[in-house]
Chains A and B, each alone.
Chain A
Amino acid sequence: MIDPLTLNFVTETMKGFGTVEPAGKNRFRITTTPDRLRDAIMHVQAMLGCDRLITVSAVDNSRTLELHYHFTGQHRTVITIATGLSRDKPVLATLSDLLLPAGLYERQIHDLFGISFTGHPSLKKLVLNEDFPENEYPLRKDWKPAPGRSYGGTKERREPL
């Protein structure tokens, strides 16, 4: 069993990729920009021994759409790599070739937040039903279902007898 990573070590290793700050017990967050994200992740994998992707979380903080990649490894420290995308045109190159499980998380985020991942092998509707309206992203903060509007699934509604 390897010892947990320390803040100093992480800061030292990740210099040049963004700010490093502790975020809770045994967890560090590295905030970086979208264009450096891929390098940062490869660096984390290679230099910090983070061989497991825990999950990819997306958050809408009303200004930007944040993406958080959570990693861990033998050392049991969680490293979160965070980045922000503009809400108007959220586009990011896919990481599903680098991180195999990320393909699924990306499709889910695409559905719920409307972030497009360029280069993803099949960025299709996944969580929502097939006839859910386009350009409606339920987990965005400003989204509310419009009363009386159809969100799909209605054509199979029970016919009045």
Chain B
Amino acid sequence: MTGKPGNWSQRLVNWARIKSPWITIFNSGGCNACDIEILACLIPRFDVERFGILAKGSPRHADILLVTGPATLKQASRLRRVWEQMPEPKYVIAIGACGAEGGVFHGLYHVMDSVDSVIPVDVYVAGCPPRPDELINAVVTCLGLLAEDIAHGGKEWRQKKAPVSTDTVNPVGEVPV
């Protein structure tokens, strides 16, 4: 249901979308530190409810999926399924070094090395773990992206602009020594 900002109702929906990002958290095999830092965003010190961010248990209700961890072989299929359960429009933020490139687990035999090899990722956050303020920055970046996508009539324009890599080879094998 992404549409061009034409009539007032569409504009209203777009405005609401930016003002009310609900998140759901998925740990794809990380060390929990990132998850704890995400939870730390909800607490009084940072209180992301100020931005309308609510953590939801059901992926059906969420707009943004926060993925932590390097996607272990076992979690990869679950991650994919959770992502599929989310209603459009949906965005994915890969948290930490793990989410981006496997971090310290890069090349281990039981990880996929990046969330991106399982589901399309929109925003990356550096750090291991990122501080809560960096996570807030990430969500803000994601919202900026959302606004930009809306302006271009949907998420597809970005994918057209930068085609994703099409490698299907399992990264396992390059175990760093």
- Interface set of A (CB-CB < 8 Å, partner B): 128-130, 132, 138, 144-158, 160-161
Contact = CB atoms under 8 A, between A and B. Distances in A.
A155 B119 CA distance: 13
6 contacts: A130-B74, A147-B174, A153-B112, A158-B80, A158-B164, A160-B166
Q: Which 10 pairs from chain A and chain B are nearest by CB?
A: A153-B73, A147-B173, A129-B74, A160-B166, A156-B77, A129-B73, A156-B80, A153-B76, A145-B109, A145-B172
A145 B173 contact: yes
B72 interface: yes
Contacts of B172: 145, 149-151
A154 B118 CA distance: 9
A152 B73 contact: yes
Interface in B102-133: 109-110, 112, 116-120
A59 B112 CA distance: 27
Nearest to B159: A161
Contacts of B110: 128-129, 138, 151
B119 A151 contact: no
B9 interface: no
Interface string B136-177: 000000000000000000000001000110101110111100
Contact of B109 (A138, A154, A157, A161): A138
B65 to A, nearest CB: 14
Contact of B170 (A128, A130, A148): A148
Given A145-B173, A149-B173, A161-B159, 9 more contacts: A129-B73, A138-B109, A148-B173, A151-B170, A152-B73, A156-B76, A157-B76, A160-B166, A160-B168
Contacts of A155: 77
A128 B169 CA distance: 20
A147 B164 CA distance: 23
A151 B73 contact: yes
A157 B167 CA distance: 10
A80 B138 CA distance: 50
Contacts of A145: 109, 172-173, 175
Contact of A132 (B73, B80, B118, B119): B73
B170 A158 contact: no
A157 B164 contact: no
A148 B74 CA distance: 18
Nearest to A138: B109
A115 to B, nearest CB: 19
A148 to B, nearest CB: 6
A161 B164 contact: yes
B173 A158 contact: no
A153 B112 CA distance: 8
Nearest to A152: B73
Contacts of B163: 161
Name which of A148, A152, A154 has the most chain B CB atoms within 10 A of its CB. A154
